[in-house]
Amino acid sequence: MPRPQSDIDAGRERLVEQAIALIEERGNSAITMTELAAAASMSPANLYRYFDSRDALVEAIAEYWFRPKVAIMEEVIASDLTARRKMFEFFARRFTMMKEEWERDPLAFAVYVELGRDNFEQVRSYVDLGDHYLSLIIGEAMAEGYFEGLSIDETLSLVNQMVSVYVNIGAMEMVMPRLTTVKLARIVDAIFDGLSARDRGSAGLAELRSVQNA
């Protein structure tokens, strides 16, 4: 990670690391500014020099947690890989990192799930950033001839649904032992080999049929 550029930045970084240690130690994401000040051996007034609200603290924690994931996305986007391989690495490298975090401390991972769920507005920008980068990969894939008849937005929605357990940490946590990069590669191949607007028969009925009438 790049070193902070100022005393305030360095102080914020240390406080974020202190907050993360406190959250993981307690197994509870509901940290207060007073608790963090006490853990950091400073007055609440001094803490507010670095974070003017708890929301600002949560945003800083989110930035710290997402920072290496964003770096992965940017590295993949800048690479000269094919669109298919880019999409695989875009998901696989972040998934591998998060699975290692889960294996290292499943309880801490669960706390991050709780923190993200309870403070979604603070993490929404990172979800949107992921969609932006994925859209760039989809655009490259379309230039290579994939996803016939679909728009970028339609393809983005479909791909997100197909790989959700590899990026949504809440869904990921529930089935983590069953998730592998081998399975993810097969999903990405299925996306590239089959995803298009063509009707191959599954949507060709006027109405849904019950099992008894099938």
Residue 25 included in any domain: no
pLDDT band of 28, cuts 50, 70, 90 = confident
Residue 153 included in any domain: yes
Residue-level pLDDT at 205 = 62
Burial of 3 (0-12, 13-18, 19+ CB in 10 A): exposed
Residue 43 included in any domain: no
Q: What CATH number corresponds to the domain at position 73? A: 1.10.357.10
Nearest to 120 by CA among 35, 73, 50, 59: 59
Residue 3 reports pLDDT greater than 70? no
Taking CA 63 as the corner, what is the angle to CA 86 and CA 71, rounded to the nearest 5 degrees? 25
Residue 33 included in any domain: no
Residue 161 included in any domain: yes
Residue 69 included in any domain: yes
Residue 29 included in any domain: no
Residue with tokens 């069953």: 178
Q: How far apart are CA 62 and CA 19, in angstroms?
A: 11
Q: How far apart are CA 209 and CA 80, in angstroms?
A: 47
Domain span holding position 109: 62-194
Residue 202 included in any domain: no
Predicted confidence (pLDDT) per residue in 126-147, tens digit:
999 999 999 999 999 999 999 9
Name the domain count of the chain: 1
Predicted confidence (pLDDT) per residue in 164-198, tens digit:
999 999 999 999 999 999 999 999 999 999 999 98
Q: How far apart are CA 89 and CA 162, in angstroms?
A: 15
What is the total residue count of the chain? Answer: 214
